[in-house]
Every structure is written in C-alpha cells, then in structure tokens.
Amino acid sequence: MGILRIITLERLKLITVAAPTVFVVVVLALYEFLSLSNYAVWAVDVGVVILTFIAALIFSEVVFGIVSRLQAGLAQQNKELLALHQAGLDIAGELNLESVLQKIVDQARELVGARYGALLTINESGLVDTYITSGFSPGGVKASELGAFTSYTSDHKPIRISGKEVVAHILSLPSDQAAHSLLTVPILSGDKVLGNLFVAGKESAREFTEEDEETLARFATQAALAIENARLHEQVKALAIAEERERIAREMHDSLAQVLTYVTTKGHATQMLLERGELDKASKNLSQLVDAARSAYSDVREQILALRTSQERNRGFIDVIREYAQKWQDQSGIPVELDIQQGLNIRLTPTTDLQVIRIVQEALSNIRKHSGATQAWITIYKRDDRLVVTIKDNGAGFDPSSLTRSDFPRFGLAMMRERAESVGAELNIDTGPRQGTEIRLRIPLSKSELQAGSSKAYESIDSR
C-alpha cells in the first residue's frame, strides 16, 4: 500500500509515456552501435526484437501491477467509505448504543483484515463501562473486571503491541485463540477519551500497517459520535421525564385536587344540613357529591389510560394515538374516527412524540367532560414541512373570550399550548357556541424527521 502514496494516476501516465520513449532511444542507440560492429545484420535484428519483447513484458507487468494495486486500494477505500456511511446511518437511526457499536467493531475488523476486534467504553470515573467483542467471546469476563484496559484508555495516541501472551491478556482471549499483534486507537470526543477500539491478529501479515491505523481511527470517530449521541439522548430523555412529571403534578393539582376540595366542602355543608334537620337540602348535596365522585373517577381512569398508553420502543406517536383512541372510545362511549394520510410515516423526536400524544389525550378529555359531543374526529397529515394533527368534535363548543381563569377547559387549553410551544409547534382553536370545537396542532419537521415509508391508508375507528 506504500506505493499508492508515491504513484498517482498522473504520475503513472507520465511513466507510461516517458519509459517507452527512453527505451526506444536506448534501443536505437544500441542498434546503431551494433550495426557498426562486426555482428551480422540478422543477429542484430533478432537481438533487438528479443530485447524489445522482454522489455515489453517487464513494462507491462510493472504497469499492470501498479494499476492492480491502485484499483485494490480504491476498492478498499470505497468499501471503507460505504462502511462509514452505513455506520453514520446506524447512528442516526438506531438509539441502541450497543447495537451501533457492535456494527462498528464488526465492520472495522473486516476492513483491516483482523481475526478479532473489541471495543470498550469508559464512564466518567474512568472505569470500563461496556465491552463489545467481534470474532471471539471474552468467556464470561465482565466489563468491570477488565482492569488491564485502563492503562490504554488514558493515552490519546494509537498503540501497536506485539506478543501472543500480551495480546491475549489485554483482550481476554480464550486459551484456544491467539494473535501475535494488536492495534488500538482511542475513541475521542474533543480532549476526552470515551474508550478504545481494538483489532488483533492481522490475517494477511504479522503486523498492522499505518493504513490500518488510519482506517481504525475513522471508525473510532464514528464510535465517538454514537456514544455522544446516545448520552445526549439519555440526557434529553431524562429532562423530558422531569418536565412531564412536573406537568402531570400541575394537571392533578388543578383537576383532581379541585374536585377533592369541592367534595370536602360539600361534605362539611351536608353534615351541617343533617345536623339542622334540613334533609331535602342535604339530599341534594349528596347527589352533587355522587356526581363529583363519578366525575373524579372518570378523570382518574382517563389519566391512568393516558399514562399507560404511552411510548414504547419502536412505537411512533401514530400507533400510540391509534391505540389510545380505540380505548378512549370504549371507555367514554363517544365514537372517534381516526384519519391518517396515506403513506405517512413520520418519525418525530421522543420529546415531540410525547407532547403530541399528550395534547391529543387532553383534547379528548375535554370532549368527554365538557362538549356533550356524540362524535369525535382525529386527523393526521403532512402539509409542506409541517405535520398537522386536528382533534374535532360536534359538541356544544364555547366562547374562548368569555372564559375566566377558573373556568374549564381553560387550564387544559393553556397546558396544551404550553406543550405545543415546548416543541416549537403552533396550536390553534376554532370554536363557538353550538359549533363544536376543532383544535389544530402544526408541528415543524426537520429533514431527519421526514421518512418515506408505507403506512395504513385512511382508516376509521368506530365500534358503533
């Protein structure tokens, strides 16, 4: 591979022109010299032909050998670029860090022609966090037991090691598997070492080359991106969970807590009416208490349903909304029709996914509590670079401008707007007395959130 650094296609072109020219000049000079000598003419001619034939064979062998090596190098580079491209796609599309890192170490081992490969990550304390192998099994050795690695993770430079026993000790190779050489490069994010990528046992040679080191370093860069991406995702997820807990606490305070306060107040008033013997008024208060308890029970069931019908791995917001709409319809008794644009397959970020689901759940909750509707509709479609979700009912509607701070569903609407704004979305409400209500959510989409694919065509969920 070293010749590829010296001879380029331009230089090869120059050689193929200059070398024959020089050879012809030399042959002509030799022919003139021999012609002036006492050699027979036919002998001189035969000698020149034989010399030309031998020189042509040598020249052809050299040139085609160089071309073959250049072609092999280009094929190797193309293979490496495809593998790096695939690794980039895996990082963008797969959130399971170990799965991505396994693909990276498998591809790196294959490209450098090594029998064994390994990748480890270290945590903030400098201890081995993850150990992934390729081509061998570490034999039950746990990541926390790999103390031999810690001396190789603090350096920012590649390291080459020779010696069968040393390599076996470093990689924790089983006794029946051996490798004479090892190459390791650090997985770096800025000045921070995230881990190391190892290959051992060069199949076509005894030692790894400088080109192998460069190839491995490029895969280590992909591994660093995958690790940082996964850690960032975990941070975002933790932040989203914390924000969601805070929102749920506020929702419970302003819904269930208000109902319980009402029940407590009514209970005391009923007790006083009974003490005074005002049985009719007490009976009326008890009926109101029963209605309030029934409403609170329905609210609690709906909140439990909303929390249970949440995101699962490999489930997008459309599948979650489809499941929730069906269960909400069965629980509330209000038919809901779900229309999804044909061929729509949008992949949102986990945070946006969650907020869209919660807004739909809150809108359906308002329909059950306040609209008196006999039908609800949910429509999901893409328009230009935005995802549009509408929730509509044929209920009584309301005048938003007439609501006071204590009126419901004002709190629900405010919470929906807060959720929409948290992901950069826009929420509009179209309603009026006896006109029903339509809530329209517009979510801006980035290029990474637009995925072509197949999904169900327009569908209707209606068990009635």
Task: Tell me, letter by letter, the H, E, C secondary structure of 356-395.
Answer: HHHHHHHHHHHHHHHHCCCCEEEEEEEECCEEEEEEEECC
- Whole-number pLDDT of residue 403: 61
CATH of the domain at 418: 3.30.565.10
Residues 108 and 39 in one domain: no
Q: How confident is the model at residue 97 (pLDDT cuts 50, 70, 90)?
A: confident
Residues 158 and 52 in one domain: no
Residue 58: domain span: 3-89
Q: Beta partners for 389?
A: 380, 441
Name the region of 291 (left: φ>0; alpha: ψ -120 to 50; beta: rest): alpha
> Model confidence over 146-179: pLDDT tens digits?
544 555 555 678 888 777 666 666 666 666 666 7
- Whole-number pLDDT of residue 452: 38
pLDDT at 462 over 50: no
What are the percentages of helix, strand and coil residues in the chain, rounded to 5?
60, 15, 25
pLDDT at 460 over 60: no
> Model confidence over 171-217: pLDDT tens digits?
666 666 667 788 888 888 888 888 888 888 888 777 888 888 888 88
- Whole-number pLDDT of residue 440: 95
- Whole-number pLDDT of residue 82: 67
Q: Where are the alpha helices (DSSP H) in 309-370?
A: 317-332, 350-366
CATH of the domain at 220: 3.30.450.40
Interatomic CA distance for residues 309 and 325, integer angstroms: 10
Q: Which two tokens stand for residue 445?
A: 């989409």
Residues 348 and 446 in one domain: yes
pLDDT at 426 over 90: yes
Q: To 5 degrees, how large is the angle CA 270–CA 276–CA 278? A: 65
Residues 17 and 162 in one domain: no
Q: How confident is the model at residue 314 (pLDDT cuts 50, 70, 90)?
A: low
Residues 79 and 136 in one domain: no
Give me the amino acid identity at 246.
E
Q: How confident is the model at residue 456 (pLDDT cuts 50, 70, 90)?
A: very low
> Model confidence over 70-87: pLDDT tens digits?
776 666 666 666 666 666
Q: Compute the average pLDDT of residues 238-248.
A: 73
**Is 242 among the domain residues?**
no
Kindly state the DSSP code that residue 447 receives in the 8-state scheme: G
Q: Which two tokens stand for residue 254?
A: 């302003």
Greatest Cα pair distance in the chain: 152
Interatomic CA distance for residues 105 and 223, integer angstroms: 9
Residues 349 and 464 in one domain: yes
Q: Compute the average pLDDT of residues 423-445.
A: 91
Interatomic CA distance for residues 462 and 326, integer angstroms: 8
pLDDT at 101 over 60: yes
Interatomic CA distance for residues 464 and 462, integer angstroms: 5
Residues 319 and 462 in one domain: yes
pLDDT at 461 over 50: no
Interatomic CA distance for residues 355 and 362, integer angstroms: 10
> Model confidence over 13-33: pLDDT tens digits?
777 777 777 777 777 777 777
- Out of 128-142, 293-307, 385-399, give the one with best mean pLDDT: 385-399
**Is 163 among the domain residues?**
yes
Q: Which helix (H) or strand (E) holds 187?
A: strand 181-189
Alpha carbon 199 to its chain centroid, in Å, reads: 26
Q: Beta partners for 437?
A: 393, 431
Residues 110 and 85 in one domain: no
Alpha carbon 24 to its chain centroid, in Å, reads: 63
Residues 54 and 113 in one domain: no
**Is 254 among the domain residues?**
no
Give me the amino acid identity at 129.
D
**Is 262 among the domain residues?**
no
**Is 181 among the domain residues?**
yes
Residues counted in the chain: 464
- Scanning the structure block, which residue is given the tokens 């031998």? 54
pLDDT at 9 over 80: no
The proportion of the chain whose per-residue pLDDT surpasses 70, expressed as a percent, equals: 72
Residues 217 and 169 in one domain: yes
Among 117-121, 158-162, 240-244, 439-443, which is the least confidently predicted range?
240-244
Is the distance from CB of 337 to CB of 324 less than 8 angstroms?
A: no
Provide the mean pLDDT of the chain: 76
Q: How confident is the model at residue 251 (pLDDT cuts 50, 70, 90)?
A: low
- Whole-number pLDDT of residue 307: 64
Domain boundary among 208, 230, 252: 230
Interatomic CA distance for residues 323 and 319, integer angstroms: 6
Residue 298 vs residue 55, higher pLDDT: 55
Q: Output phi, psi for 452, to 5 deg.
A: -75, 140
pLDDT at 409 over 70: no
Q: Count structural domains, the chain.
A: 3
Q: Where are the beta strands (DSSP E) in 139-239?
A: 159-162, 181-189, 192-202
- Out of 219-228, 250-259, 327-336, give the one with best mean pLDDT: 327-336
pLDDT at 408 over 90: no
Q: Where are the beta strands (DSSP E) in 59-135?
A: 114-122, 128-134
> Model confidence over 360-391: pLDDT tens digits?
988 998 888 888 899 999 999 998 889 999 99
